[in-house]
Amino acid sequence: MLFYIFSGVMLLFAGLVVVNRNPVSSALSLVVSFLGLAALFVTLNAYFIGVIQVLVYTGAVMVLFLFIIMLLDIKAERRRDINYLALGGGAVVLLALVVQLATAVGSLGAGPEKLSPLPDDPAAHQDVRQVGLAIFTDYNFHLQLLGVLLLIATVGVVVLSRRQADDVAGGR
C-alpha cells in the first residue's frame, strides 16, 4: 500500500518538474519527488541509501540548484513558438522507450516475485554495517578513486567559476 502512495507522489511531482514553467517550482517539485524516492528506498529496506538520498539530493543538490536559480535571477520561461517537429519526434522516442520497457519488464522471469520479509535475525541485515564493510574492504580502491574524483570536481568548479583574468583587467 505504501509503495503505491510513494510511487504515485514521486511520479506526480516528477511530472510537475517537467510541466512547471517557473524553474523554482520545478526545483521544489523535484525535492518532493526525491523524498518519495527516498521513501521507496526505505520500503526496499535500503535505509542507508534512503538517508543518503535525502541528505545528498534533497539537501545539498537541490539547495545548489535553488542557489544558482537565485544567482542567475531566472524568470519564468516566456511562451515561444512550439517546434511541432521536435515535439512529435520527442513523443515518438518517449513512446518507443515506454513500450520497450514494458515488454522487457513483462518478460522478466523473476518479475512476478513478491517482496518477502527479511529474515528474523536482525544482525544479518544491518544495512549500514554491511554497506560500510563492503565499501571499506572489497571496494576500498574504488572509494579512494571517488575521493580523487571529488577533489578534481572541486578544483574544476573553482577554475570554472573564477572570472577570467582579462575580464578583471577590462574593469568588468
Partner 1 sequence: MPSLNEYLMVSGLLFAIGLAGVLFRRNIIVIFMCLEIMLSAANLSLVAFSRFSGQGGLPDYDAQVLVFFVITVAAAEVAVGLAIIVALFRARRTVHVEDLTSMRG
- Of the candidates 85, 110, 123, 165, which one interacts with partner 1 according to CB under 8 A? 110
What type of residue is 136?
A: F
Site string for partner 1, 119-138 (x = CB under 8 A): x----xx-x--xx--xx--x
User: What cell numbers appear for 79 in the block?
Assistant: 511562451
CA 103 to chain centre: 25
Q: Is 10 in the site for partner 1 (CB under 8 A)?
A: yes
Burial, 167: exposed, middle or buried (Cβ in 10 Å; 0-12, 13-18, 19+)? Answer: exposed
Give the Cα-Cα-Cα angle 46, 10, 70 (nearest 5 degrees): 105
CA dist 131 and 129 (Å) reads: 6
Task: Write down the least CB distance from residue 52 to partner 1, Å.
Answer: 6
Site string for partner 1, 70-99 (x = CB under 8 A): -xx-x--x--x-----xx--x--xx--xx-
- Of the candidates 15, 70, 144, 168, which one interacts with partner 1 according to CB under 8 A? 15
Q: Is 32 in the site for partner 1 (CB under 8 A)?
A: no
Q: Which is nearer to partner 1, 71 or 165 (CB)?
A: 71
- Of the candidates 5, 70, 146, 168, which one interacts with partner 1 according to CB under 8 A? 146
CA dist 43 and 41 (Å) reads: 5
CA dist 54 and 148 (Å) reads: 24
- Of the candidates 56, 70, 144, 168, which one interacts with partner 1 according to CB under 8 A? 56
Q: Which is nearer to partner 1, 72 or 165 (CB)?
A: 72
Task: Write down the least CB distance from residue 169 to partner 1, Å.
Answer: 16
Residue 13 near residue 32 (C-beta atoms within 8 A): yes
Task: Write down the least CB distance from residue 83 to partner 1, Å.
Answer: 8
User: What cell numbers appear for 120 in the block?
Assistant: 528474523
User: What cell numbers appear for 80 in the block?
Assistant: 515561444
Q: Is 168 in the site for partner 1 (CB under 8 A)?
A: no
